[in-house]
């Protein structure tokens, strides 16, 4: 009887498509791999020797300096170190502290800020700059705010500010040919029906308040002091740390 020899299975692995598979895997890993980018140390280059630094000088009549202390939990007081001469917050004597929530203190800050409200012309100039920037227009495209409003077909409006809410009819108003009656703290707005608000500015004060905090004054005291200033129309604020030289409340 003749035996028929069965052919065995081929043990060789086909290599014809290995190159394609490897190429596809390489593409997959390149697309899905996230490379870690190490950022260098950021620093500001020093100014050139011939480059002058412009120092900003604040007029004494526009500067109010206050030292804020903490007398207990959630209890903060202020000492007026320096105030515009002839104003409501002139320092009477050393060590005269007053609570941050004192109505006389807040009324004095508000009065100083209101008396130094920027001219309407300055607010209008800033508004025109904001409008050109929001429209991606070159600075100086429009010679006046009136021409810009006509050219861009937008609507001017006034949003009453916090000073109107606090003082009501007692607040002084200035008449503007575009916006009508504008008070200190009001917001001048330019808008259209499609985009809504395009540009806006708040009529600010030129009063600068420098807050000096003792190191033991906690975060809540800093927030409370800044909040008092904002509620009473102060937008320009500087903060420093006042080192204790002895005495004072703990």
Reduce the DSSP state of residue 169 to 3 states and report it: helix
How many Å is the Cα radius of gyration of the chain? Answer: 33
Q: Which residues contact 198 (CB under 8 A, 6 or more apart)?
A: 131, 134, 135, 152, 154, 190, 191, 192
57-83 pLDDT, tens digit each: 566 788 999 888 888 777 888 888 888
| 68 and 227 Cβ atoms separated by less than 8 Å | no
Residue 190's closest CA among 155, 145, 224?
A: 155
Res. 202: pLDDT tops 80: yes
CATH architecture of 60-115+206-241: 2-Layer Sandwich (3.30)
7: left (phi over 0), alpha (psi -120 to 50) or beta: beta
pTM of the model: 0.65
Which residue intervals of the chain bear CATH 3.30.420? 60-115+206-241
Kind plus residue range of the DSSP H or E element containing 70: strand 63-72
205-229 pLDDT, tens digit each: 899 999 998 887 888 888 889 999 9
112-170 pLDDT, tens digit each: 998 888 899 999 999 999 999 998 988 889 999 999 999 888 999 999 988 888 778 77
Report the greatest alpha carbon distance in the chain. 133
**For position 123, what pLDDT does the model report?**
92
Q: Which residues contact 249 (CB under 8 A, 6 or more apart)?
A: 69, 70, 71, 77
Per-chain mean pLDDT for the chain: 80
Res. 54: pLDDT tops 90: no
């Amino acid at each position: 009887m003749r035996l028929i020899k069965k052919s065995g299975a081929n043990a060789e692995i086909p290599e014809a498509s290995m190159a394609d598979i490897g190429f596809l895997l390489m593409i997959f890993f390149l697309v899905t791999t996230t490379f870690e980018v190490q950022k260098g140390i950021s620093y500001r280059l020093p100014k050139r020797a011939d480059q002058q630094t412009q120092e900003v000088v604040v007029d004494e009549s526009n500067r109010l300096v206050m030292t804020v202390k903490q007398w207990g939990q959630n209890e903060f007081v202020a000492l007026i170190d320096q105030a515009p001469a002839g104003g409501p917050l002139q320092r009477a004597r050393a060590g005269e502290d007053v609570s941050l929530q004192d109505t006389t203190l807040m009324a004095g800050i508000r009065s100083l800020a209101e008396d130094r409200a920027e001219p309407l012309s300055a607010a209008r100039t800033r508004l025109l700059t904001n409008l050109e920037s929001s429209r991606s227009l070159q600075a100086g495209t429009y010679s006046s705010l009136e021409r810009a409003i006509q050219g861009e077909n937008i609507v001017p409006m006034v949003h009453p500010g916090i000073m109107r809410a606090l003082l009501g009819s007692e607040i002084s108003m200035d008449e503007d040919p575009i916006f009508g009656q504008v008070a200190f703290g009001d917001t001048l707005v330019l808008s259209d029906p499609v985009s809504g608000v395009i540009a806006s500015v708040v009529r600010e004060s030129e009063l600068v308040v420098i807050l000096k905090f003792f190191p033991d004054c906690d975060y809540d005291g800093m927030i409370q002091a800044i909040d008092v200033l904002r509620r009473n129309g102060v937008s320009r604020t500087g903060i420093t740390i006042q080192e204790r030289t002895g005495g004072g409340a703990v």
